[in-house]
Amino acid sequence: MRLAPTPFRPVCPPPGPTKVTRDDPRYASLTSLGTPRFRGTGTPEYVWVVRTTDHVVRAVQEAVRKGKRLAVRSGGHCYEDFVDDPSVQVVIDLSCMTTVSYDRRHRAFAVEAGATLGQLYRELFLRWGVTVPAGWCPGIGVGGHVIGGGYGPLCRWAGLSADHLHAVEVVFVDRNGTARRVVATREPGDRHRELWWAHTGGGGGNFGVATRYWFRAPDATGHDPRRLLPAPPASVLNFHAEWDWRGMDEAAFSRLVGNQGRWSEEHSSPGSPFARLDSELHLFRALAGRSVLDGRISVGDASAQRMLDDYVTALDEGVGSPFTVRQERLPWLTATLRGPGLDENPYRLKPKSGYLRGRLTDRQTAAAYHHLTRPDSPVVGGALGLYTCGGEVNAVAPDATASAQRDSVLKAVHLAAWTDPVEDAAHLAWVRAFYRDFYADTGGVPVPGAGNCDGSYINYPDVDLADPEWNSSGTPWSTLYYKDNYARLQAVKARWDPRNVFTHVLGVEPA
C-alpha cells in the first residue's frame, strides 16, 4: 500500500515577538553575545527576539508598563556594559531583523537595524553595485554603528555612514508612556527632522529603538538605485607592513610616529588624491616584538601601486628599524569581508579614543614610547593605534550632523587586549595610565580645541571620561564626544524620550 505524500507545510514563527526567559535553553546564547569583558555579566529577566517593528513596539510597551529597565542589542559589540549591565531587566534583540531592500518611495536603501555590516556590504554590492561607507569589521551590527556616525575604510573618500543616512525609523516612548513608531528624514520640511539628526552621531541607546535605516548619498539625484550610493572599486590593494622592535630606539620610534602624523596632515583634506588610502598604524608593546601597519587602497588601477610606494617610503623615512611589506590585490567584496571578525575575538578589550587635528606632540610621543617599553608592566597586549582620518569626513560642517569631529587627521586609539579575567586590573591600569599621560597637557583627556585634540569617538564608549579620577580637565564627557552639539542632542532627548526610558552611563541627558 502506497501512502500519499504529506504536503509540505512550512512552519511559520509565531505572530508576535519571542520572549526568552531564564529557563529557556536559548537564554544563555542570547545573553552571551556581548564583548568578552562583559559577556554573561548581565542577567535580564528575559530577552525579546523581535522580527518586525510592531514586535519592538510591543516589547517596549510591556517593559514601560511594568517599569522594567530595558536595553537594545543589534550586533553586540559595545565596548562598555550598556546592554550587559546587571541592572538591565529586559533586552530587545534585533538580530533577526536583517532585511536589505530598495525603497522606491524614499529613493533610498532600507536596512533593518539587526543586519551586520557584512550583510549590508554583500547585499548592496551584489544586487546594485553600491555600498555605504562604514566599518571594517563585517560582524558589527548596523543598529549601533550608524547612530555613532560610522567610520571605516572608505570614509576618507566618501564620508561617514551618517552622511549617507536619509531616514530612520524609531520606536519611542511619549510623555504618556505609550510606545509608538515614527519615521524621521533629513528633508528640510520634515517636522521630525531633529530626530533624524540625532541618529547621525548621537550614539546608541539614547532616543529610542532604531529599527530601520534608509541610505542615500546626500547629493544623489534620479531614481536609478545604482547611482544613489557610492560605487566601490572593482578591486582593492591591501597592504601589511611590520617594524621590528629590535633596534627601534626612541629616536627611530619618534621618527615613525612623526612620519605617520606628517603624512596625515598633508593628505587628509577633502579632495586629496590620497583619500582612497586608509591605514592603521598599530604600535604594539615592545614585549610583542613588532609594530604593524595595515591598510587598503580603494583604487582599481595602477595608481594604487604608486600611492602605496609613496606612502610606505614616507612612513619609513629615517626609521632604520628592520622593515617588511606585503601586499595583495583582491576583489573589493572579498577584501571587505576579510575584516576582523569581532564575534570570534577572544580578547577582553578596553579601547580609549581621541581625535587629533595634527601630528603627535613631542610630549605625546615620549609618553607613547614610555608606556610601550616600560619594563615594570607585564602587559603584552597593549598598543597605540594611529588611524588615518579626514578626507571627505572633513568636508561636512560640524553641526550638519551630530558627528561633530570634522577637522581631524588622525584617530588615536589606546588599547589593552587580554584573555584571562585575572589580568583585568593590570591591563586596565596600564591603558588608563597611558591615556592619562598621553593627554597630560589637557587634564588626561582629548579636550576639543586644546592643542591638537578634538574629543573622542562615541562608538568607542569609555566610562572613564565621566570619572574625575581619570578626567581632571573640567570638561564633561558629553563635550568630549559631542562638542557644541550636545545641547541640541539634549533637546531631542527631551522631545522624544521625556521619561528617560533609554539610558546608560554615558546616556544623553534630557535638557
Kindly give, in sequence order, each residue whose CB lies less than 8 Å from that of residue 154, ignoring residues fewer than 6 positions away.
131, 133, 134, 230, 232, 278, 298
Whether 457 is catalytic is no
Question: Where do we find the cell 568630549?
Answer: 480
Q: What span, in angstroms and rounded, lies between the C-alpha atoms of 500 and 472?
A: 28
Choose among 376, 461, 382, 462: nearest CA to 417: 382
Whether 213 is catalytic is no
Of 387, 439, 481, 486, the active-site residue reads 387
Of 460, 481, 482, 486, the active-site residue reads 460
Cell readout for 50 is 523581535
Cell readout for 62 is 510591556
Q: What's the gap between Cα 126 and its chain centre?
A: 24
Number of neighbours of residue 115 by Cβ within 10 angstroms:
25
- Residue 172 β-bridge partners: 180
| Residues found in the chain | 511
Question: Where do we find the cell 579601547?
Answer: 351
Q: Which amino acid is at 3?
A: L
Question: Where do we find the cell 587586549?
Answer: 417
Choose among 97, 98, 141: nearest CA to 117: 141
Of all helices (H) and strands (E), which one includes residue 363?
A: helix 362-373
Q: What's the gap between Cα 280 and its chain centre?
A: 15
Kindly give, in sequence order, each residue whose CB lies less than 8 Å from that of residue 156, ignoring residues fewer than 6 positions away.
268, 272, 275, 276, 277, 278, 388, 389, 390, 391, 392, 393
* Catalytic residue annotation: 387, 460
